[in-house]
Chain A
Amino acid sequence: MVTLEHYLVLSALLFALGIAGVMLRRNLIVILMSLELMMNAVNLSFVAFSRYLGSIEGQIFVLFVMVVAAAEVAVGLAIAVAVFKQRGTININDISLLKW
């Protein structure tokens, strides 16, 4: 029997994987993918809660999160292209004109 806890654990694991990806990976595209993974992990939680609570609100939230995530990735890719045109690299370590 698959219970709410299973979904929550899976969602937490995916979210943690996303965080690890953002922190550890150096390729910009992979980082953007990891951000997407974090958002979608949250979506999983929302849907599981929505089913568990019998309320539709969580599912509606998911639709909005998907759209927002898409918009964010589109802007992220645009910026990545701009950075690549200027520097010829999308490795985060090489993008350091401004010190952190």
Chain B
Amino acid sequence: MIPVPEINLGGVLPALILGVAGLLATLLGLFVRKGAATVGAIIGFTAVLIALAANAPLRFMNTPAFSGMIVLDTFSWFFNLLILLSVGLTILISMKYLTDQGLDLYEYFAILLFSSVGMMFMVSGTHLLMIFVGLETLSIGVYVLTGVLPKSSKASEASLKYLLLGSFSSALFLYGAALLYGASGSLSLAGLAKYFQSGSVSTMGLIGMGLLLVGFSFKVAAVPFHMWTPDVYDGAPSPITGFMSVGVKAAAFAAFLRVFFECFGSAQVTWSHILWILAVLTMILGNLAALVQSNIKRMLAYSSIAHAGYILIGMVAGTAMGAAGILYYLLAYIFTNLGAFAVVTMVGRKGEANISIDDYRGLGKSHPALALAMSIFLFSLAGIPPTAGFIGKFTIFGAAIASGYIWLVIIGVLTSAASVFYYFRVVMKMYMEAPEVEPESLKFSPSMALALTLTVMVVLYIGIFPTTYLNLATESVKSLF
């Protein structure tokens, strides 16, 4: 008999709950005649709440599961939390979106849940196989979600481009994994770490590391691997764009951090130079390109590229403080950016007709609450106190200074000063200009109101009282160092 390996289902409990809910939504949706999307959304949202409750007591566990393929440590706990939050908010925003578009797609929520399962496996995987399978589960789900609008040729084109470039980057990632396997004889992160600590790293191993870096850079949309981002973000349904910009980015950064700090930590001198260059290029190009956009989704896409650059600064710093900064930054970014995309969804109306920045003219007068929320999100994206985005940037820049990367921080500060310009342009349009034709009044739905209230409150709250959350982030990265 072959001994049964230790399973430890507790290690994958949140993912398990979401996965079962996804299957349930698929099946139930088939047998509901009308309002199937609402059923899917309710199942999904309930599952997220249950998973949040189930996740809470798992803090400070440090248990490997499935014979060491997966680990539940403070780091994966934190990212499971982030993913659950972003899925929950996305479901709330999507309900309003699907009603606006007149679509009754319950599959939408099932796929959303499945791709978050992939994210959870990706953030807690301690084996390249697990990380790869998680990455693909998440990506394939998001490819489908991008093209989910049946009549929109923009959406299917975006989804096509995402699929082609996404699989291309997955293949590069895979080749990197193969080379690392050949060089070290192991695919588990622990085995790779041992190999890199031994000091005699072959060229093949280094090339493998480089290819993994390229693969991850694609997923987090770092320049020069960002080409897909603006098109895909533009073509995808607004809530999905929000989900991609926070959930996918958080999961990809989690695996990026875990692989590079846990395995290649001893080769940090090599990769931090490359990341330095990537971070600078990403910040400069992201912010400059965002300056000239007239479409709000493209502007937010380039802004999300720029934010990947700021997060990369934390990785270059290479310390626990830098990593903690990244975790806090991502927490703040999830609420800020999903909030901003909630507003974009609201203003977009049927068929996403109003996604030009000019459509925001006069919003301050016609919908003061919505305009105020959008302004708060934009302030947070620009990093202006007292919002969460400010504390995030502050922590990451502080960590980089402590590690001696003065120039990197100077470039970061300069580019974020430039970013203020394009964020403020939207605020100006909302308050200072009047629309040519007074548009119909927008209708809030309860789910949308809930999502907006939550995001605004959290962005302000963790911006004003950041200590608890900074400590949470600092504790969470302990398992990496």
Contacts and interface: CB of A to CB of B under 8 A. Distances in A.
Contacts of B143: 75, 79
B156 A61 contact: no
B171 A18 contact: yes
Contacts of A53: 181-182, 185
Contacts, number: 112
A1 interface: no
Secondary structure class of chain A's binding surface, majority of residues: helix
Contact of A42 (B140, B144, B174): B174
Q: How large is the interface on B (under 10, 10 to 19, 20 to 34, 35 or more residues)?
A: 35 or more
A55 to B, nearest CB: 6
B231 interface: yes
B35 to A, nearest CB: 25
A98 B129 contact: no
A33 to B, nearest CB: 12
A95 interface: yes
A42 B182 CA distance: 12
Interface in A74-98: 75-76, 78-80, 82-83, 86-87, 95-98
B177 A75 contact: no
Given A64-B132, A71-B140, A100-B231, A42 B171 contact: yes
Contacts of B140: 68, 71-72, 75
B147 interface: yes
Interface in A25-71: 28, 31, 35, 38-39, 41-42, 45-46, 49, 52-53, 55, 57-58, 60-61, 64-65, 68, 71
A97 B153 CA distance: 8
Contacts of B164: 22, 31, 35, 76
A98 B178 contact: no
Nearest to A52: B182
B263 to A, nearest CB: 15
A80 B161 CA distance: 11
Contacts of A35: 164, 167-168, 171
A15 B175 contact: yes
B235 A46 contact: no
A46 B181 contact: yes
B409 interface: no
B234 A42 contact: no
Interface of B: 128-129, 132-133, 136, 140, 143-144, 147, 153-154, 156-161, 163-164, 167-168, 170-171, 174-175, 177-179, 181-182, 185-187, 227, 230-231, 234-235
Minimum-distance CB pairs A-B, first 6: A38-B171, A98-B231, A49-B182, A45-B178, A86-B153, A68-B136
15 contacts: A11-B178, A38-B168, A39-B174, A49-B182, A53-B182, A55-B186, A61-B132, A65-B174, A68-B170, A71-B140, A72-B167, A75-B143, A79-B156, A96-B157, A98-B234
Given A39-B174, A49-B182, 19 more contacts: A15-B171, A15-B175, A18-B171, A22-B164, A38-B168, A42-B178, A53-B181, A53-B182, A55-B186, A57-B129, A64-B129, A75-B140, A75-B144, A79-B143, A79-B159, A98-B154, A98-B157, A98-B234, A98-B235
Interface of A: 8, 11, 15, 18, 22, 28, 31, 35, 38-39, 41-42, 45-46, 49, 52-53, 55, 57-58, 60-61, 64-65, 68, 71-72, 75-76, 78-80, 82-83, 86-87, 95-100
